[in-house]
Homo-oligomer: A and B are copies of this chain.
Amino acid sequence: MTGKFYIIGVGPGDPELMTQKAARLLKECRVICVPKGSKAGKSVALSIVKQVVSMENKEILEIHFPMEKVKMDDKQSPMLKKAWLAAAGTVIEKLAKGDDLAFPTLGDPTFYSTAFHLAGVLPEVLPAGSKDVSVVVVPGVTSVSASAAAAGMPLCLGDERVAVLPATYEKERLLEALSSFDTVVLMKVHNVLDKIILMLKNLGLLNTSIIIEKAGMSGERVIKASNAHKEKLHYFSTMIVRKKL
């Protein structure tokens, strides 16, 4: 394989929050991969890229990504595995021709990006005689950092501890995290807002909790959790529960 596969974090939304490295590599790569029939998060990544990098002379390679919800053991599901292998085959074909491929991801790739499912199966579809495939991960600004920055608050100071987990987790697990950690970041809070607000109220944590909608994007809003019970939140909403304000 002569080409390299770059998984590139483009930051939370504001094109200026893209790193200089991401901008350079996205300019240099001839082929930009995007998921076909992608959900919100993925097409947003491309729209951020377009604000920084000219698409002239670029090839946009649409890859079919499995649409099923990705769970921890999804790689074991034969149908999903087959879909990932097919996607990997498309990427390997380009790399074999010497093209460098860039896969832009919203925020930071190491943080909940499905790009790793794809990267994980690339070695399995190498043509006979090829030794290895070069995958380079370029970190970016996470929506969590952008959320805390928008609220003008630290996530952690000194020797504090931080937990990040989906707000959709079972109640006992949420309570466990809320009791043990100085700061708890709840992702995907939009669908379970009422439940979470009630829980925080019971724990006496409602007044130190903040919701950031579309952090680092246009339309960004910082909302006190105590005022949020009637809000209809966007999919890109994060809650920060910080015990010490």
Contacts and interface: CB of A to CB of B under 8 A. Distances in A.
Nearest to A163: B163
A139 B135 contact: no
Contacts of A154: 109-113, 116
Interface of A: 9, 11-12, 14-21, 23-24, 52, 69-72, 74, 108-114, 116-117, 119, 135, 137-142, 145-146, 148-150, 152-166, 168-169, 173, 176-177, 180-182, 216, 244
A154, A162, A163, A166 pick with most chain B CB within 10 angstroms:
A154
Contact of A74 (B11, B111, B152, B158): B158
A176 B163 CA distance: 12
Contact of A18 (B19, B138, B165, B169): B19
B21 A16 contact: yes
A182 to B, nearest CB: 7
A13 to B, nearest CB: 11
Given A137-B149, A162-B165, A182-B72, A16 B11 contact: no
Contacts of A21: 14, 16-17
A18 to B, nearest CB: 6
B145 A9 contact: yes
The 8 closest A-B pairs by CB, nearest first: A110-B148, A16-B21, A139-B145, A161-B165, A137-B149, A139-B149, A116-B154, A70-B158
A175 B158 CA distance: 20
